[in-house]
Amino acid sequence: MQRISGVQGVSQVFLWLVPFLPFLGMAYRPGGLKLYAIAGGTQTFLMALAVWILAGDSIKSSASDRRALLLPGVFLIASWASAALAVSMGAPPRATVWIATLADQHLRYVALLLAGLLAWAGFGLLTARLREDGERVLSVLGLCAAAISTVSFTLFTLAALTVYDLRAAQEASTGNTPEWWTPLFGLFHSWVVLFAVLTYVATSLFAMALGKVGLLGKFGRILFVVLGTTAAALALIAIAMTFGPATPGRGLFVLLVPAVPFVLPYLIGVNLVRRAGDPNS
């Protein structure tokens, strides 16, 4: 493996730490999207700069394998860049607060919708790359899981951009939750938990596939599988708690879904970019 420079090392560490940095959360104020947009643009620019420093030379490389790793890595990294805009806003409000911050809430769910589509594109491109290396089972299973999760998540985000507005408007005007909301609530949130569980499963399958072709070390493969299966179990627990009387369940649900499942695909993307920047990969 090629030795990396100090700047590349800093860029790599920055990318690893991005999902755990509270940068965007500190910039968000309800109804104040201008500052938040600047913060989001700044973080995205720094992420793009770090990717360029790590693997920009692979674009001009004669080795097509390196470019084939870079492209899915960029899409998977971009999925978290978009999802971070939603997760940094905290829990969605209800009723009058939702109506008062309608632009914020629409930004939240448009960002999530875009994140889901970017992750799907990244997994699709990664599947094509793995097939070239002869891996045709785990990656295809992972892509199937990702396809179902993307459809489920798209349905949820589109519902959030329409039906959630209607619910908030009626709650604000009448002070009561609409009767039609209760049956829809279970349906919408089942879509979210299906997305979360299948995204974690897909990430675990792709991690195993990458390990099989030598693009992910044994420790990394085990770590992704353990994190993926554990997170899938926690997502199921979180959705169960939201239907119970305990209010902490809603906080746990917000923490685990719908934005956080993009963290593991993002970290897969960082590994791919790092590999693309290594001429010996």
Structure tokens at 178: 């609409």
Write the CA distances from 219 to 14, 15, 189, integer angstroms.
21, 19, 34
Instruction: Name which of 264, 189, 210 is nearest 232 in CA terms.
Output: 264
Task: List CB contacts of 63: < 8 A, sequence separation 6 or more.
Answer: 279
Query: What is the pLDDT at residue 173?
Result: 85
Opening angle at CA 218, ends 137 and 133, nearest 5? 35
CB atoms < 10 A from the CB of 31, how many?
11
Write the CA distances from 269 to 34, 92, 100, 220, 251, integer angstroms.
29, 28, 37, 13, 28
Kind and range of the H or E element at 265?
helix 263-276
Q: Most distant CA pair in the chain: distance in Å?
A: 65
Write the CA distances from 177 to 72, 170, 173, 208, 225, integer angstroms.
43, 7, 10, 45, 40
Task: List CB contacts of 160: < 8 A, sequence separation 6 or more.
Answer: 105, 109, 112, 188
Query: What is the pLDDT at residue 64?
Result: 66
This prediction has a pTM of 0.90
Looking up tokens 């695909």 gives 265
Write the CA distances from 166 to 110, 170, 178, integer angstroms.
17, 6, 9
Q: What is the pLDDT along the chain (281 residues), one digit of tens a residue?
A: 455 678 888 999 999 999 988 788 788 888 889 899 999 999 999 999 999 999 888 777 656 677 889 999 999 999 999 999 988 888 888 778 889 899 999 999 999 999 999 999 999 999 999 999 999 999 999 999 999 999 999 999 999 999 998 998 888 888 888 888 888 887 888 888 889 999 999 999 999 999 999 999 999 999 999 999 998 887 777 666 655 544 444 544 544 457 889 999 999 999 999 998 876 65
Structure tokens at 231: 């997170």
How many Å apart are CA 272 and CA 64, to the nearest integer? 14
Domain borders along the chain are: 6-276
Query: What is the pLDDT at residue 246?
Result: 44
Rg of the chain on CA atoms, in Å: 20
